[in-house]
Chain A
Amino acid sequence: MSLRRLVAAALVPLALLASACGGGGGGGGEGQSFDDNSLVIYSGRNKNLVGPLIDKLRTATGLDVQVRYGDSAELAAQILEEGADTRADVFFSQDAGALGALSKHQMLAPVPQELLDRVAARYRSSEGTWVGVSGRSRVIVYDPRTVAAPPKSVFELTDPKWKDKVGWSPTNASFQSFVTALRVVAGEDKARQWLEAMKANGAKSYPNNVEILNAVDDGKLQLGLINHYYWYEKVAENGPNGVPSRLAYLPGGDPGALVNVAGVGMLKGTGHGEAAKKAMDYLLGADAQKYFADTTKEYPLVAGVPTAPGLPPFDSLKGPEVDLSKLDSLEQTITMLQDVGLV
């Protein structure tokens, strides 16, 4: 009898496995048929934000698109572990750093020049391996209940009057791009001094932009260094009266006004090159660019698509000139953050 029980116990998982596999939504990359109508996208961008866009992409291109959502850096690590056998055809990253890492490891195929040319040179890879599809500005979020005049430069944040009042996210990719900009604009020594002075001034570390924004709205912080669109998303969720904080866009090429990008690249090992190009073409087309402007409140990077009302115009943003594709520079940033003891 106990034997029968054992056998039963062994059969149950098999049955469950079978059902789980069946219900598991396709299973990407199975049976490497090179039918160019199917496409696997690894998306480091949130499902809520780009899911509807992917649906539009499916309709517009007729492609059978499967999306694997995750964290940009973790997906990049996954693709690096997969190596030449990667299941991804296209990588849709939240930031340039993860794309740069794949490019550096020779994982990305060249993007057709025609697609690259739609975007200004500073928002795409200098090697032509990835291209930005939407822009986001670094901003200072502040609490108008306690802050009358927000700072006009990140260099003011080391002032004792902001002691223990500023939130930042040293582990966050877009913060790290900002530090890279800081190094380019102010030089290595001044950048390091700024980080040390901020640390000494009690800057508080948060895991991500959303948490910083929440802390400012809850009155726990007076200032925070974030990307602009998180604020607009929160206004959409809580209503304009549910978000007490306001945004300050910094003038005069301040590193705190850096414009980052989310972008796409095509994997070298893809068997679906034509489909991948179609998808990238769609993301750089008027439809998708309008979606980024209106729905995710980002800046369209292709000329001729207007910015959403309520945002400062794209050409009014005065960010510093930084080559986002220089990953080696990002590694120096990480080393600096480690030396200062922030990550």
Chain B
Amino acid sequence: MSVRRIPAGLLTPAAVTAALALLPVGYLVVRSAEGGLDGVARTLLRARTLELALRSLGLAAVVTALCVAIGISLAWLVIRSDLPGRRLFGILAALPLAVPSYVAAYTWVAAVDLEGFTGSVLVLTLCSYPYVYLPVAAALSRMDPATEEVALSLGRGRSGVVLRRLRPSAAAGALLVAMYVLAEFGAVAIMRFDVFTTQIYTSYRAGFNRTPAAVLGLLLVLITLLIVVAESRSRGRASYAMRGNPARRPPIIRLRAGTRALALAWSTALAGLAVGFPLAGIGYWLLNGSSARVDLGELSGAVGATLGVAAAGALLTTALAVPVGIIAARYRGRTATFLEQSTYVGHSLPGIVMALSFVFFAVRYVPAVYQRSPLLVVAYAVLFMPAAVGAVRASVLQSPPVLEEVARSLGRTPLQTVRAVTLPLALPGVLAGAALVFLTAMKELPATLLLRPTGMETLATQLWAETGSGAYAAAAPYAALLMLLAAVPGFLLGRRSLKETT
């Protein structure tokens, strides 16, 4: 890592990505300005705005802290301990990603008398701890045991040095969790917990006056950027740059019998609550209602549409994320920071705000793609960019920069070096990022509803339609299939987290 000029071949595509990601902000500024200073001030100065912002931040803080605790503990047990069945638990730890949060919330509300803050914390934590587990497990399995040995030889404990070295990967995961919670609407609404996004949705749903919603959207962007900046300040990237995979594997720690029983109970309970419980809930829908019917034509149509747009979304997101991720890993300076941080903007906004901004721009400037699949795919890319950028950055950081320097000294241009050295080395990590985006895009609802081609239904929109009329039994096949399909990339991600340990 050094302060070098970013080659145009990387800078140009990265700038395109950043511009795309910042598009929604342009829309929000236009709509906010319509209300004049008066309208803006009226929205910002309401006591309720502050109250809800604090609630959202509180929820995000608690969920993120819990996800970090769960993610690190599970990753350590799976990668570093002799927990029985740890390979199975490693895969199970990634599978909650396949559970749509609104399905989990429905199940919890129906089965247990749980709502409000506690209910929201429970559901969001159970759905999003894999965001921390996955990067931490990867970092743990790559950690050079020498560092720990030094700590031990100096009479220090193992955990301090391990935790310190896990900080960047845990922080990256925590950032995704925090942003996810801030933009979340469906699950918290089912849990009857009003948050910041509730107010944005209410402005659209009730007022038909778009200024308040836009002002609140901008405020949400601002809050997210503050968190992103704080995370990157604390990251201190240079000192954590990897020097390739260590020569030796870290040792497996033997658990004492009591600890082992506890660890087993902990891992089992998490998997049961996060994956087993929603599955059981869907089974209950199926058995309890009379609307159960399967229209194979509709079902297969929805599967095809879901897989098509989600796969295209994953590929486009990854393609756009590669230049930004490489720049974030290998270059410093204001431009590099700006490019990386701008990609977080789309992710911080609720789906409806994102979708309306794409309606606004597409209708005016590229009507040919409006209500066609390509527009939806681009929207997915903006929504899910941070996960892909993070994956690219992390995997590029793993390969030693010296290899690239050798290629350069042999006369390759910076771009040739990227193609011949950086990308091939980072490819597995980049593909894992694509899998994560694929899985998230399959579950997406609000933007899909507004941007899909008229007549196209995905599994998520079908699920929405069936539950919206109370036909839970008819919704069950869609929910089950959605979870099953999303479980495939989830399984691959979980297995990947184990790969390097055995």
Contacts and interface: CB of A to CB of B under 8 A. Distances in A.
Given A13-B319, A20-B308, A87 B198 contact: no
B450 interface: yes
A36 B407 CA distance: 64
Size range of the interface on A?
A: 35 or more
A201 interface: no
Contacts of B209: 331
25 contacts: A5-B424, A6-B419, A6-B423, A10-B319, A13-B316, A19-B308, A20-B305, A20-B309, A23-B305, A24-B455, A40-B454, A46-B469, A48-B468, A66-B455, A68-B455, A69-B449, A71-B449, A77-B208, A98-B208, A210-B470, A211-B109, A238-B288, A239-B290, A242-B288, A338-B46
Most chain A beta-carbon neighbours within 10 Å: one of B206, B301, B304: B206
A82 interface: yes
Interface in A233-285: 233-234, 236-239, 242
Contacts of B196: none
Interface in B96-135: 109-110, 113
A233 B470 contact: yes
Interface stretch (B187-195, B235-243, B245-253, B268-276): B187-195
A128 B319 CA distance: 51
B466 interface: yes
A98 B471 CA distance: 25
A87 B371 contact: yes
Size range of the interface on B?
A: 35 or more
B374 interface: yes
Contact of B192 (A30, A48, A205): A205
Contacts of B206: 73, 97, 171, 173, 176, 330, 334, 337, 343
Given A73-B205, A97-B206, 15 more contacts: A20-B312, A20-B373, A21-B453, A24-B305, A27-B455, A29-B371, A30-B372, A46-B469, A69-B461, A74-B449, A98-B208, A205-B192, A238-B288, A330-B206, A338-B46
Contacts of B427: 5
A244 to B, nearest CB: 14
B454 A67 contact: yes
Contacts of B305: 20, 23-24
Given A2-B419, A10-B319, A48-B471, A26 B455 contact: yes
B207 interface: yes
Interface in B297-319: 301, 304-305, 308-309, 311-312, 315-316, 318-319
Decide if the interface of chain A is mainly helix, strand, loop or mixed.
Answer: helix
B441 to A, nearest CB: 12
A70 B351 CA distance: 14
A87 B370 contact: yes
